[in-house]
Structures are given as structure tokens and as C-alpha cells.
Amino acid sequence: MYRPDHATHTASTAHVDDRVQFLVVGDEGSLTELEAELALLPLCARGRVFVEVEDADQVVALPTPLRMTVTWLARSRRSGRPGTGERCAPGDAGARAVRAWCDEMLCDGPGETRAIVTGGFTLTSEVREHLVGPVGMSPEAISVPASR
């Protein structure tokens, strides 16, 4: 079907997308809570899910809306702080993934992004601190459900 509004759209035309995108973060200790939070999202929700686990054996099927991309972060396959030779500590892989995602996807500011952060103290505090600080996300746009 021909749509005249699409005929003038080019690669340099600004594309305005007013839908909210979601950033969902959790770890192996919050999988049940993470599943519950994902189940509450609208079917048309879009965004990114990062789940940090100790080992790839902990990866399970995680039901999500179709437009959500899930990335599993196994600490056993990652190093700790650069240049130290340390192992990846709980919270490190998830926090690094969120920082990288924000640098790439939120370079013009947070826009209409909502975050749901579950998991251990290190993960939730580092992610929340980054989202509110350098990213500039409103604290009201970040949900940190009571955990365990």
C-alpha cells in the first residue's frame, strides 16, 4: 500500500518514535522476580534485557515480549576489572553491559526509557547510579522492586 508520508522519508529524515523502550536488568538470584516483571510489560514492549549469571548452565528460557532482546552474561566467561586479572564479581557484568548499552542507545539522553532493575545490591546500586548520574534518567523512570 502506498503511503505518501513514506515517499518523503530518507535516511537523513528524523524519525520520531514516541514509544517507551525498556531496560530490564537482573541476576540469577532474581530470576523469579525478573520473570514476574517481564510478564507485566505490554505485549508490544521493546527494549533490552540483561541477565547476569555465574555460569552458562544457569541460562533458561525467559518469556519476554517479542520486541525485547535478551542477553545472558555469564561471569565465568568474563574478567573482572580491566588490568587486574581478577574474576568477574557479582554485579560487574550486568553493570558493564548497561553502561555500554546506554552509551550506544541513549547517546541523546534517556528519552522515553524506563528501567526495571532487580538483583543483588551491587548490580542494582551500580546500574541505578549510572542511569541517574551520567545518563540523566529521572529516578521515577527506574523501578527497583523490593528483592529477596
Q: Is the pLDDT of residue 147 over 70?
A: no
Task: At 138, give phi and psi (nearest 5°).
Answer: -65, 135
**CB-count exposure of residue 82 (10 Å: 0-12, 13-18, 19+):** exposed
pLDDT at 82: 75
Q: Is the pLDDT of residue 42 over 90?
A: yes
Residue 10 domain flag:
no
- What pTM was estimated for this model as a whole? 0.84
Among 27-36, 37-46, 74-83, 107-116, which is the least confidently predicted range?
74-83
pLDDT at 19: 76
Q: Do residues 31 and 63 touch, judged by C-beta distance below 8 A?
A: no
Residue 9 domain flag:
no
Q: pLDDT per residue over 103-129, tens digit each?
A: 999 988 889 999 999 999 999 999 999
- DSSP per residue, 5-50: HHHT--TTS-----S-EEEEEEEGGGHHHHHHHHHTS-TT-EEEEE
Residue 102 domain flag:
yes
DSSP-derived secondary structure letter, 30: G
Q: Return d(Cα 46, Cα 123) in angstroms, integer.
A: 22
The residue segments making up the domain with residue 83 are 19-143
Q: pLDDT per residue over 124-136, tens digit each?
A: 999 999 999 999 9
E strand or H helix at 36: helix 31-39
- Overall average pLDDT of the 84-105 stretch: 93
- Domain count of the fold of the chain: 1
pLDDT at 114: 97
pLDDT at 109: 87
What CATH number did the domain enclosing 102 receive?
A: 3.40.50.80
Nearest to 41 by CA among 59, 60, 23: 23
